[in-house]
Structure 1
Amino acid sequence: MRYIIIGAGAVGGTVGGRLAQAGREVVLVARGRHLAALREHGLRLRVPQGESTYRLPAVDGPGPLGELRADDVLVLAVKTQDTVAALDTWADVPVAGGGTASERLPLVCLQNGVESGRLALRRFRHAYGVCVWLPSTFVEPGVVSAAGTPLTGILHLGRLPDGADDTARRIAADLTEAHFEAPVVADVARWQYAKLLGNLGNALEAVGGPVASEEAQDLFARVRAEGEAVLRAAGIPHVSPDEQRAARGDKVTLVPLEGAPRGGGSSWQSLARGTGTIEADYLNGEIVLLGRLHGVPTPLNELLQRLANRFARERRTAGSLPVGELLLLAGGAARQGG
């Protein structure tokens, strides 16, 4: 199989580089300065074992590839807010032997949250979800890092909306040879919703900095509690923290990488890079949506969603909102929500 990584940033670049290292055929899809660096210097992947450079085909879209191959796997690794544009670009590309990508090829959603899977199923017959546990960083154009060892990450994989098949198992086998653990599960949404609860802290970290102080940790606990209440009301099952800890164990331990500091998670990195967008609408916003549908107040998630979007829109510095000010805003939001 050939893997076409649509969005070769931190997560996509790490998966693409590791697959290439394992001898799999990989095409990277990127844009701007990152694309230029990939074409000129190759993909530089920094991991605990050292830095490697992979000279891989790098394109800005399907045009340079012509017809897609019947054995292609499309790996969607853009942020959720960019999903619709990516689906529009790739869905109708012809595949050798007849048909289009949306009719014939597997699309693997290597993204946070759950909304991208819904969007994919509107366009693609064969969509797969992944619960992404992969600490990685976009260092600079052409360079990504992943500090996990002995495994680079854990990627629970399953067909959407549920089930497992031979395609999922073949993809998982390739990922396993590429320094990942990739369990194939019939209930991938249970894992994704559990990860979503953890990702509710992404916006908190992005606007207020590391969730390290007792006050910040208490605020995150309340944000997560809103999410748990919403999932209960909606009747949405999710993997328990104990089950997650048992699955992860000490398989992905982070170690410092020279020249590749990890400043924060995906939302923090969006602000640090000044992209102008952030995924809060599909993380905290997912909880807000479900809360409104099921009559559960979610004032803290609403606040974080609003703040994260404002920071992205105004290109404010990641982590620049003092924790004390954030706590005052949260107290006001909680009183109004109550």
Structure 2
Amino acid sequence: MKVAVVGAGAIGAYVGAALDRAGADVHLIARGPHLAAMRQHGVQVLSPRGDFTAHVHATDRPSDVGPVDYVFLGLKANSYAACGPLVEPLVKESTALVAAQNGIPWWYFHGHGGPHDGRTVESVDPGGSVSAVLPPGRAVGCVVYAATELAAPGVVRHLEGTRFSIGEPDRSVSRRCLDFSDAMRAGGLKCPVEAELREDIWIKLLGNISFNPISALTRATMREMCLHRSTREVIETMMAETLAVARSLGCRPGISIERRLAGAERVGDHRTSTLQDLEKGKPLELDVLLAAVVELAGVTGVPVPTLRTVAAISDLLARGTAAPAAAA
């Protein structure tokens, strides 16, 4: 099995290192000091489950890699429309794109069935710009439950969780999913193949849609948001509205708001990825987390006043961070 990881940051490098342990032919696409460190020292993984180093081929030139069986996308979703030059040299007729993204994916209605089958979610795929680069027929969905961070260039600190749920948009249990799952499990990760992956998407989204924008607006950690009564009430309302949208689309996420909040509180003084991006001056990945659900609420006629309010305020914040990033 030949795998390329496009966007080999903390999660991507962690997955690449695990697949290398399983015997896969792995190639990491990265840049800058992180790339230089991986070339010199390999990917160093620091984990409560045991430290290890994977000496994996790393490059900033996908053309040096050539066609692969799987492209694992470790990029933020707001980079997808521009990733064509990175992905195109890696693709052959049978190449699958394993998209490890938060929020509503661009392929959400591909193979969905029902009245919305084939619909484009403009918030995440404006004008079909992402689908043109990443054809939905190649997509394998992936919901990441692992937490990692870059402790230093080339050094991945694994914090918790090893689960990467995957699934086909059309709900089939495909050979390509089963083979990728086998390789991930051989590398020490959990990788269940879920026919109803959209339920996993909504379960994770319950936290991302609420904690991520609120943390960026308040600079608060997970624990602080859970313990502040008024903020917790806002988050509960956002989660309830999100569940209503999911149900309007035929999804029944198997988790309660109380359980989701309890899990978040146990995480402690963790800063969400959106808050970390804000602090680093990076673009905020809010369209797939928040704007997309507001868009879907409009499609299905579900009232989401709190989501709309937070989306409006956080969009202004996101625009403020995007301008300096574009100038840089």
Question: Considering the TM-score relative to the shorter chain, is it more than 0.5?
Answer: yes
Name which of 178, 198, 217 aligns with 1:207: 217
User: Percentage identity across aligned positions?
Assistant: 28
Aligned residue in 2 for 1:89: 85
Residue segments in structure 2 that go unaligned for 5+ positions in a row: 109-124, 323-328
2:152, 2:319 → 1: CA distance?
A: 22
User: Relative to structure 1, is the Cα distance of residues 53 and 304 closer, same or farther in structure 2, using a 3 angstrom cutoff?
Assistant: farther
For the pair 1:198 / 2:207, whether they are aligned, the reply is yes
1:92, 1:165 → 2: CA distance?
A: 23
CA deviations 1:153-174 (Å, max 9, x no partner) are: 2122111232111111111111
Give the residue type in structure 1 aligned to 2:178.
Answer: R
The structural deviation recorded for 1:57 is 1.5
Aligned residue in 1 for 2:276: 269
Matches within 5 A, 1:114-125: 114-118=104-108, 123-124=134-135, 125=137
User: Relative to structure 1, is the Cα distance of residues 271 and 220 closer, same or farther in structure 2, using a 3 angstrom cutoff?
Assistant: same
User: Relative to structure 1, is the Cα distance of residues 91 and 53 closer, same or farther in structure 2, using a 3 angstrom cutoff?
Assistant: closer
Name which of 246, 256, 264 aligns with 1:231: 246
User: Relative to structure 1, is the Cα distance of residues 58 and 304 closer, same or farther in structure 2, using a 3 angstrom cutoff?
Assistant: farther
TM-score (norm: length of structure 2): 0.77
Aligned residue in 2 for 1:326: none
User: Relative to structure 1, is the Cα distance of residues 273 and 20 closer, same or farther in structure 2, using a 3 angstrom cutoff?
Assistant: farther
TM-score (norm: length of structure 1): 0.75
Matches within 5 A, 1:303-322: 303-315=309-321
User: Relative to structure 1, is the Cα distance of residues 36 and 311 closer, same or farther in structure 2, using a 3 angstrom cutoff?
Assistant: farther
Q: Is the 8 A contact 2:6 2:87 kept in 1?
A: no
1:265, 1:312 → 2: CA distance?
A: 15
CA deviations 1:143-200 (Å, max 9, x no partner) are: 222222xxx4212211123211111111111111222221112221222122222221
2:320, 2:250 → 1: CA distance?
A: 35
Residue segments in structure 1 that go unaligned for 5+ positions in a row: 95-99, 257-261, 317-338
1:283, 1:132 → 2: CA distance?
A: 14
Match of 1:34, SS state, is helix
Name which of 305, 312, 324 aligns with 1:299: 305
User: Relative to structure 1, is the Cα distance of residues 57 and 18 closer, same or farther in structure 2, using a 3 angstrom cutoff?
Assistant: same
User: Relative to structure 1, is the Cα distance of residues 10 and 25 closer, same or farther in structure 2, using a 3 angstrom cutoff?
Assistant: same
1:7, 1:15 → 2: CA distance?
A: 11
Give the residue type in structure 1 aligned to 2:308.
Answer: E
Aligned residue in 2 for 1:218: 233
2:315, 2:21 → 1: CA distance?
A: 37
The structural deviation recorded for 1:222 is 0.8
Give the residue type in structure 2 aligned to 1:172.
Answer: S
Q: Is the 8 A contact 2:35 2:154 kept in 1?
A: yes
Name which of 147, 162, 174 aligns with 1:135: 147
Aligned residue in 1 for 2:96: 106
User: Relative to structure 1, is the Cα distance of residues 81 and 117 closer, same or farther in structure 2, using a 3 angstrom cutoff?
Assistant: same
CA RMSD of aligned residues (A): 3.0
Matches within 5 A, 1:183-194: 183-194=192-203
2:46, 2:312 → 1: CA distance?
A: 34
User: Relative to structure 1, is the Cα distance of residues 91 and 34 closer, same or farther in structure 2, using a 3 angstrom cutoff?
Assistant: closer
